[in-house]
Structure 1
Amino acid sequence: MPCARSPVDPAQGMNMYLDQPRTIYLISPQPWDGFKVSKHHYARALAEMGHSVFFIESGPTTKGWGRIEITDSEIPNLKTVRYAGYMFRWFRFRARGLYDALGPVKVRQLERAIGVRPDIVWDFDNLFQFRSLTLFDPALKIFHPVDSLVAGWTAAKDQDLHIALAQEFTDGVDPDRTPTLFVPHGLNPAHAAYAREVVSTPAVFSTAADRPVVGYVGNLSADGIDWPMIERLVRQNPEVTFRLIGPTGGLSDPNERSIAERLKDEPNCEMPGLVPVEKVVEQAGEIDLWLVCYDIARRPDAAINTHKVLEYLATGKAVLSNYIGAYEGTGLLHMPATHSNDDMPSILARVLADPMRTNTAEEMARRAAFAFEHSYAANLETMNRFLTDWVSGRVDPDPDGATAGKAAQVPA
């Protein structure tokens, strides 16, 4: 059956590439289970379009070395694939040459286990499970990094097409050979639905609590969170409630673990752990200000972009963030002018001095509208046009940000 269609200019008189069901191997550096980020949301969106999506994760299986586990997910058309035992993962990080030499064997094993070869290999893996995507020929090969690459590696994987968040994610990619499309982070369906309502009736979503609430949602075990600054903000503002939503169990740094434990004891800090995104959206109306707080010196990609900002903006509420280059000059975030977070306490004080003025109906509608324009569905429409142009041999620069390269022939 045909897939859910993307808008098409009737004058083109042609089907879009993703309008027909495709078999997609989506390669992820993270497992399907657990906290959901960009690659999970794209996998779900592609499956909901009617494609057969195999979410390939390199994680230890329960069956031993070399076995492959394929499991139905909770999403129709989406299966998870675990393909590596402990020894194979050891090769990947300790004996890279041997690991790469085993690549063709592993791909053949995957294809046999899955039972169908891919039409598209959509690779989100910044940890390089596969050094070259030509192992999956003749599939259409896309590299789509949404996280910083491993130090010393480039974005060149012999891909047909490259999709990137920013220029920083294109190192090593020759635009004359590999067409490149720049696409920002996407907005998940739950937040997109919320944003649509905020745009329609922003005044309904304003807060009027006497005690301001600052919210943070994300993987609190992630590298690069500026825990000392978060603790400083909490302790300097006892009249403000800080709600930090997300898991902390994976914190490896003893100092960060210590700060997280201390914050749990602060009377103005709530740390409920991992909360489903639908529940987070339900609580969004209680938040006056959202927080993004990474130490850019430790996590440089946090200065480029982060997907949580779109989710925050979708609620219409103001956002206090570390510096993020993608939002400089937009007026959408309250953030320092430099990579240092030293000014965040004074910015917080200024914003909370008049929260109702910060979250006017006009400003809330503007923030939510910006977020809604970048839903995963909207981003996939842009990518669908890009893929269609490439497959059909059109190589003119794409108006949505693609840089044309040499077209290749792929079955349409």
Structure 2
Amino acid sequence: MTGSTPARPRILFLSHSHAFGPFRVGSHHYARTLAQRGADVVHLSTPISLAHRATGRVSRPDDAAVPRGPRRDADGVTHIIPRTTLPRPYGPFRVANELRRHGIGPEFDAVLIDQPLLWDDTVRGLTPRLVYRPTDLYPDGVKAERQRLIVAAADGVIATSAEVLHGLGPLTVPALVLENGVDAARFAQPSPEVGPRPAVCVYVGALDGRFDWTQLATWARSNPEVRFAIAGPVAEPPVALADNVELLGPIVYDAVPALLHGARVGLLPLSDDPLNAGRSPMKLYEYLSAGLAVLSRATPVIRADEGAGVFTYGEGVDAGAALDRALRHPSPNAAGTQRASAESWHAKTDALERIVWSVPAR
């Protein structure tokens, strides 16, 4: 049967990313908003293992920036980033044991898991309402195996895109799509702007195999009068870049709005990695909220809306021509800001709560 919202619900997020680095993900925003509404929220993310530290996948400064033990933030969310010897899913780590170790009772009104590697045989027993919130495609490998176990045990599914939901195959529990949102107030320009912004294209995010360095290099060579500012952790780009490309390195989250306010176009140069087909990138609405036009490779999730300043390439549309149109779009992009305002995390959390508390409990 379905139930009503508890007076002060206890909610656990099992997430792929912690909140002490340069990026914010959907679970961080949901946790923050729910805690502000009075929920008791715990956010447990992927453990940092000795193997990660020994191989350099987690640097010493990054490791030092992450608290050891529970950390309650200003919004009231309790964050836990476990330390383990072996990476997940290997080794003896269990979620329920980790919670008890820190004096946190392992009984929750709802558990939302988006990291397949955090699944273990204790998770189902933590709650009468287990909701899987997949944010990516996992076609094979250990994450795909763990995902199958989660889907078999879950009471409901909330996917971040239709492609991600489709990738799960037939389901026997309630399932729907709830795309990522935006903290619109954080990214809005604090004062009125006079005249168009400079010809700067900006990207903020991960710089892994899902980022198309070749496309970036082509844009830069063809547009020497445009500056391309690329923010994100990268050791060495795999292609030669022109002098008008500036690699800024990782940018702290609080500094991102100011960086965006100095640009005209926000880039999403997605590679042909199949995993990009299901992404619901938060940067789309963050760029729009900050007054930028957006240029992205077209995907099943990201479609052109040129009236709102969203331009796409691929599927017969030349990337160079799309960049030209994005640069000519009215700046700052007031229409895009208006579109993004409807995608706030408050509205998304309203929908999330309706879904979670309507899921039949066990």
In the superposition, the TM-score normalised over structure 1's length comes to 0.71
Gaps of 5+ in 2: 51-66
Aligned residues: CA RMSD: 3.2
Matched to 1:387, the amino acid is V
Q: State the 1:317 CA deviation.
A: 2.3
- Separation of aligned partners in 2, 1:137 and 1:276: 34
Determine if the alignment matches structure 1 residue 307 to structure 2 residue 306.
no
For residues 231 and 379 of structure 1, the distance between their equivalents in structure 2, rounded to whole angstroms, comes to 36
Task: Give the match for residue 81 of structure 1.
Answer: 80
* CA deviation profile, 1:53-107 (whole Å, cap 9, x unmatched): 2221232368xxxxx95321433422222335123x26x25xxxxx6xx67xx24
Is 2:347 the partner of 1:359? no
Distance 1:79 1:314, change over 3 A: same
Q: SS at 1:208's partner residue?
A: coil
Tell me, in whole angstroms, the C-alpha distance in 1 between the residues paired with 2:261 and 2:33. 26
Give distance in 1, aligned partners of 2:97 and 2:279.
Answer: 37
Show the counterpart of 2:237. Answer: 257
**How big is each residue's C-alpha offset from its partner over 1:220-276, in whole Å with a ceiling of 9 and x where there is no partner?**
3x3311011111211221111111122224xxxxxx6343xx54xx44222222223
- Secondary structure of the residue that 2:211 maps to in structure 1? coil
Answering whether residue 320 of structure 2 is matched by residue 345 of structure 1, we say: yes
Give the C-alpha shift of residue 324 in structure 1.
Answer: 2.5
Cα separation, partners in 2 of 1:115 and 1:212, compared to 1, 3 Å:
closer
Contact 1:146–1:164, Cα closer than 8 Å, also in 2: yes
Of 109, 115, 136, the residue aligned with 1:119 is 109
In 2, Cα distance between equivalents of 1:44 and 1:54: 10
Partner of 2:264: 288
Question: Is the contact made by 1:192 and 1:371 (CA closer than 8 Å) also made in structure 2?
Answer: no
Look up the SS of the partner of 2:46 in the other structure. strand
Structure 1 residue 284, shift from structure 2 partner: 3.0
User: 1:214 aligns to what SS in structure 2?
Assistant: strand
1:377 pairs, out of 336, 346, 351, with: 346
Q: Percent same amino acid at aligned positions? A: 22
In structure 1, the gaps of 5 or more residues are 1-14, 63-67, 94-98, 250-255, 391-406
**Alpha-carbon contact 2:182-2:285 (below 8 Å) kept:** yes
* Alpha-carbon distance change, 83 to 278 in structure 1, aligned in 2, over 3 angstroms: closer
Distance 2:304 2:246 in 1: 32
Q: CA deviation at 1:309?
A: 0.7
Whole-Å Cα distance in 2 between the matches of residues 305 and 61 of structure 1?
28
Aligned 1:2-401 pairs, distance under 5 A: 17=5, 20-34=7-21, 35-60=23-48, 70-87=69-86, 89=87, 92=89, 106-113=94-101, 114-117=103-106, 118-125=108-115, 127-130=116-119, 135-149=124-138, 151=140, 153=144, 154=147, 156-170=151-165, 171-172=167-168, 174-175=170-171, 177-188=172-183, 191-195=184-188, 204-205=192-193, 207-209=195-197, 211-220=198-207, 222-249=208-235, 257-259=237-239, 262-263=240-241, 266-296=242-272, 298-302=273-277, 304-328=279-303, 330-331=305-306, 332=308, 333-338=310-315, 343-352=318-327, 355=328, 358-359=329-330, 364-390=333-359
| SS of alignment partner, residue 257 of structure 1 | coil
Matched-pair contact (CA < 8 Å) for 1:241–1:270:
yes
Determine the C-alpha separation between the residues in 2 that align with 1:388 and 1:108: 22
1:270 aligned partner, one-letter code: E
Query: Highest CA radius of gyration, 1 or 2?
Result: 1
**Structure 1 residue matching 2:196: 3-state secondary structure:** coil
**CA–CA separation in structure 2 for the residues paired with 1:73 and 1:273:** 28
- Quote the Cα distance in structure 1 between the aligned partners of 2:200 and 2:163: 34
1:335 and 1:307 map into 2 onto residues whose CA distance is 16
Within 2, Cα distance between the matches of 1:116 and 1:158? 21
| CA contact 1:225–1:295 (8 Å) conserved in 2 | yes
